[in-house]
Structure 1
Amino acid sequence: MTPVRHTQVVVVGAGQAGLAAGYHLRRAGLDFAILDANAAPGGAWQHYWDGLRIFSPPAHSSLPGRPMPQQSGTEYPDAAHVVNYLSGYEKRYDLPVHRPVRVHGVDRSDERLTVRTDSGTWHSQALVMATGSWGRPFVPAVPGRAGFTGRQLHTHGYRGTSGFAGQRVVVVGGGNSGAQIAADLHAVATVRWVTRRPPRLLPDAIDGRALFEIATRRVQDDGPRISDLGDIVATAPVRAARDAGLTARPMFDRLTPAGPAWADGTVWPADTVIWCTGFRPDLAPVGLRRPGGHIPLEGGTRSIEDPRIHLLGYGDWTGPASATLIGVGRTARTAVTGITDLLH
């Protein structure tokens, strides 16, 4: 028989956003459950490539209540260090995480929300969607993509430089992932990095600390937008690859069986194409999506259509810097304050 459980709040996702929500729900004294599709702690960080480094020192990469410890030998920790931190965070605050549990849908037609999962049904009075976007990689519909005879993968599937030595690799995408993966491969492969517009590296002195400060000033409508300064954080590996000659080229027009082709007829034979073309919010179960992808919100995180539902950690549209370790705590507090007001 399928189990049915009841709680005041269901949180979907146990990455950094879901754990920050759990911290504030615990402090508010509410009954809640966190449902996580992953089999192990760490959110999306457990799936990132080996060479990934976070943008900020630990002191500026912490969730509320517990500073991230230093990682020996480096100022900017790797993804494995973040996974260990998130795992310890769950234990420290005894957060009620249930895994692996995959949410299939949310019924909003009753006074209670009904959350349907592959391991039973949950009834709640409020819901926090903190699923992130790792589960929905996006690849553009480039002409000829299906006919390319080499290997194709997305950021979602990249794990490191192993197996790429001596290859000709096309890295597509002008964001942080594209820059970091192109830099990661630059020392072992022949890399052609292509972007739709010239990539804009932030000044070398800007890291996650400065990004959070800029985002905070924007909340107060004081200071520049991050996008006014650049799009890519110049991490040490990115700077090293840049100084060693890595540059971006314009996006190709199509893929041929042999590799990318440009409008002037140039074809670059390639072994692999890596699509660093982003992700989409993983929000299908809640059924609130609108044309253009975003769900209309008020108060930063609360759904206008159904105030019982809050979205957390999907980017600046759910709160400035809300997709960062240090930034999500502030918007999690806002969401839980709204839920507390609703329930009382």
Structure 2
Amino acid sequence: MSSQDNSEENLPQQQDDADGGVLATRDNPFANPGLPPHEHRVQDIDERAAKRSERVVAGLFTLSMLSTIGFIASFVAFPVDKIVYVFPIGRVSALNLSLGLTLGLALFCIGAGAIHWARTLMTDVEVPEERHDIEATPEVREEVLAGFQDGARESDLGRRKLVRNTLIGAMAMVPLTGLVLLRDLGPMPGTMLRHTKWAKGKMLINENTHEPLRPEDIAVGSLTFAMPEGLSEEDHDFNNQIAKAALMIVRLQPENIKDKRELDWSHEGIVAFSKICTHVGCPISLYEQQTHHVLCPCHQSTFDLTDGGRVIFGPAGHALPQLRITVNDKGYLEAMGDFAEPVGPAYWERG
């Protein structure tokens, strides 16, 4: 008998070790050895090290609080229309950048502090839990393997090479359908939003009555919605066109208009602005007569119609585009061209 056989015979049938495991036996030479001896961290045996870790965790949480204060202060410090250049991103909103950085730092410091706290100060004593074996019995494994082999043999996948190859080709080409779905994202925003149906000489048509508007039709303090001449609800692309060209008209006292360009582009205090919110494109429909503010009902972006449609509250990124208007020789309000800037939400190429 070999020495190896002698050594296996000397193994006991079963013996528990001091750490809760099971020592190797003749029947199970790879038994669970149990947990290794617990190693204490430096913070467990040195109170000064524990205090240092405590200060680090507290410092991270304090930095998070300061970042939150910075997040709140950013609303006061940066106007919504301030643009800064950041390499390598390019031109970005100073407000959005500051809000993102401060909020990101606040959340990161909370997470980092919690992790450092757990790894250095919380208890790390291992607690074993007995669990049953989850592996299948040899009989079940043999039955599953035999079933798989029978299925592969009966399918003739190995012998029917034409079927196999065409199946592989079909499965490989199915993901290409996802590329086709990208077409539904539509054209680039710059192409789609920069031009509307408004053009020089097109009259302003009341959306409700479908009649051309005269200056006397616009009362002080009223809100009127208009669309460009020649646009009809019978057109196949009416919804797409009105979504860009929708116009709101308000009559103000000329002395209340603060922006010089707005005053020059108006007619006797009648101003025309895009109805499409510059946040996500919702239609603006709420007008406050006393303040001359318009409010988007979706996310409460608020614009001042006496100051060039400037954003004074909410997530919108830029002012409402204004349409330059005048009166033709027949006494009807008409546009003097298209909007000077793209309508609707901001996008990367807007500039």
The TM-score bracket by the shorter chain reads under 0.3
Larger Cα-atom Rg: 2
Structure whose residues are more often strand by fraction: 1
TM-score by length of 2: 0.22
Larger RCO, structures 1/2 (Cα 8 Å, 6+ apart): 1
Structure whose residues are more often helix by fraction: 2
TM-score by length of 1: 0.22
